Structure 1
């Protein structure tokens, strides 16, 4: 990590329309334009936003064309962009996330390792491993997808590889489930991924985690950016919007000196 590097990360949250790629890209473009105007260097967008989150249908769209459109948005607004698509090769479909640089070049593409639920598991193929870490603009960046972040191994693998910031497109469905008569301690809410698990991954590994979700019917919203001190610096609500956070390298270094989890293994 460069001592001089300081970069600003944004998470973009909106409601996508299944199968309406043009409309979704227009929505995404507007959010990226706003993020750029607010000084963002990197913008993270939700999982399969361009196609709408429907794994049984998303693979029918041209993943290469989606990635070309995402690259064009990155280049147009001169920001790095993390966007999700389907990578289809020889009849096998994988949920992908790409990090494009400010020139529209694809710095890396990763595939989702942990598939969530029967629909993803039926239509998609899991990755064999987690993605790599890429250096860009003085920091080290890792990319994962949705359910990956709910497994401690994901964040640890990329942190051990040198990541400073984890960029995670996601699509978290609304789930509220409790045991009658046992109170709030026995109630589960899928919003806890944003409020509990993401900050924990950041704390455990001395990294920033930027987590961008869908909002609208059926999704929890609550896109967030967690710091390595185990707290959300950004936490959106249920509505479309944008969250922006500057990442000071000296704060990353202080967090790692305070909680030496990576060293004490």
Structure 2
């Protein structure tokens, strides 16, 4: 990571199928993030189309070459901020992915397609098959979507590609913000701590007009797995955090704090040897 970065994580309502309204919300929060001095702003999973694990999601999916993405590109250029925005993506072959797009202030884009679908999503989405890591303005980062975060191998592979940050947008329903936060505390700090990188997570909030209600929370973890900032009100809002090179250096310069360089990955790919210890 070259220098310090101020990031913004958005907690907002994202009603299903209300793409125009959700785009207006994107403009509002992107402008607020820019005014707060953020260089990059992350929105929740499927923030643009709204989230659903029902068949209705197919009719609301959008293509990456559509007018909605062009509007996001104009927004990134006009505000001079890097956008991380999610939507149900309809590919050219008509298959639907849970996707998150990166739009740089120069208008260039990249995309992450969710690799691990939660069981209720499997009937309507196709899992992605690639693991991109993005590089912009000296910041190298990965994206995971909600259920992905339960699979530590993804974070490890991103760390192997020199990621400094993993953004983890969620569309994780049920409960209140504090309860969802405690659920995240079981695994998200470990992704940061084990790999010596920042983790930024944010969630939708409110009722989505398709039978789901979201608790509205966000959190940022340091490379030592400690909380830098949280949003737990349950209301829409903007979480601002400064990710500093000193925080990374504090972990990565210490031989007893930075575990990642001491991995032995060739061992992990071997077949385990089963020792039968039952008595005859």
Q: Write the distance in 2 (CA, Å) between the matches of 1:100 and 1:248.
A: 22
Is 1:36 matched up with 2:26? no
Counterpart position of 2:266: none
Q: Which runs of 5+ in 1 are unaligned?
A: 177-188
Number of residue pairs matched by the alignment: 249
Corresponding residue number in structure 2 for 1:98 = 101
Q: Is the 8 A contact 2:12 2:235 kept in 1?
A: yes
CA distance in 2, matches of 1:67, 1:251: 34
Cα displacement (A) at 1:100? 0.8
TM-score scaled by length of structure 2 = 0.83
What is aligned with 1:166?
Answer: 166
Q: What per-residue deviation string (whole Å, max 9, x for no partner) do you get for residues 203-238 of structure 1?
A: 111111111210114212211111112122121111
The Cα of 1:117 is off from its aligned counterpart by 2.9
Taking the aligned partners of 1:72 and 1:195, their CA distance within structure 2 comes to 36
SS of the aligned residue for 1:192 comes to helix
Q: Superposition pairs for residues 147-226 of structure 1, below 5 Å?
A: 147-174=147-174, 189-217=179-207, 218-226=213-221
Instruction: Judge which range, 166-175 or 243-252, deviates more.
Output: 166-175
**Residue pair 2:88, 2:98 contacting (<8 A) in 1 also:** yes
Alignment of 1:128 onto 2:129: yes
Runs of 5+ unmatched residues, structure 2: 208-212, 264-280
- Tell me the TM-score normalized by structure 1: 0.87
Change (3 A) 1:63 1:85: farther
CA–CA distance in 2 between the matches of 1:16 and 1:135? Answer: 28
Q: Give the structure with higher Rg (CA).
A: 2
1:95-153 deviations in Å (ceiling 9; x for gaps): 111111112220x21110011132x1100011224x22222111211122111112111
1:47 Cα shift?
A: 0.7
CA offset at residue 193 of structure 1?
4.0
- Give the distance between the partners of 2:148 and 2:72, measured in 1 at CA: 22
> Could you tell me which residue of structure 1 aligns to residue 9 of structure 2?
11
In 2, distance between residues paired with 1:115 and 1:161? 23
Q: Is contact 1:17-1:51 (8 Å) kept?
A: yes
Instruction: State the shift of 1:240 in Å.
Output: 0.5
Stretches of 4+ aligned residues off by more than 6 angstroms: none
Measured against aligned partners, the alpha-carbon deviations of 1:22-68 in whole angstroms (never above 9, x if no partner) come to 11111121111111000000000011111111143333232333322
Q: Which residue of 2 aligns with 1:112?
A: 114
Q: Which moved more, 1:50-59 or 1:218-227?
A: 50-59
State how 1:134-149 maps to structure 2 within 5 Å: 134-149=134-149
